[in-house]
Amino acid sequence: MHELGIIVQITKSLAEIAETNKLTEIGSVTLEIGEVSGIIPSYFEDCWQYYRRKNELIRNAELIIEIKPGVTFCEDCRKIYETVKYGKECPFCENENTFLVEGNECIIKQIEAR
């Protein structure tokens, strides 16, 4: 449900980048999206198709999504593990004294533009 809001935010950043670099057309936007960022790629793609018709700068821009896996660190046994597979509880020591290291991000990695 928050995908469209994020796309609007992305286009604000892109407008700034376009202005700084004197760009008028963006050919592609590559995003790094964390597995546990709460962003659903298929919804994101739908929102992108909808919003690019309303925004001149990204009208012809292809969206490329790269998924970053979620990684959690356990403070008790000092090991890392896959977040999506095991969640909050450490699979090694079964404690919940854990925190997310990566996998929550939404980053504009690069754009192709002219």
Partner 1 sequence: MFKVYEVKENVFANNEREANKLRKELKERKLFLLNLMSSPGSGKTTTLVKTLEELKDKLNMGVMEADIDGIVDAKTIAELGVKTIQVHTGGMCHLDADMTRQALTEMGTEDLDLVILENVGNLVCPAEFDTGAVKNVMILSIPEGDDKPLKYPLMFEVSDVVLINKIDVLPYFDFNIEQCSKEIHKLNPKAKIFPISSKTGEGIQNWIDWLVAAVHDWQQ
74 contacts partner 1 (rule: CB under 8 A): no
Stretch that binds partner 1, among 6-14, 48-56, 66-74, 76-84 (CB under 8 A): 6-14
Beta-bridge partners for 65? 31
Among 47, 63, 90, 113, binds partner 1 (CB under 8 A): 113
For partner 1, the binding residues in 9-68 under the rule CB under 8 A are 9-10, 12-13, 16-17, 21, 23, 27-28, 31, 38
- Other beta carbons within 10 Å of 103: 19
How many angstroms separate the CA atoms of 77 and 3, rounded? 36
For residues 110 and 64, the answer to whether their CB atoms sit within 8 Å is no
Q: Name 6's Cβ contacts closer than 8 Å, sequence gap at least 6.
A: 39, 44, 106
Among 56, 66, 94, 112, binds partner 1 (CB under 8 A): 112
Q: Rounded to the nearest whole angstrom, what is the least distance from the CB of residue 106 to partner 1 in the complex?
A: 4
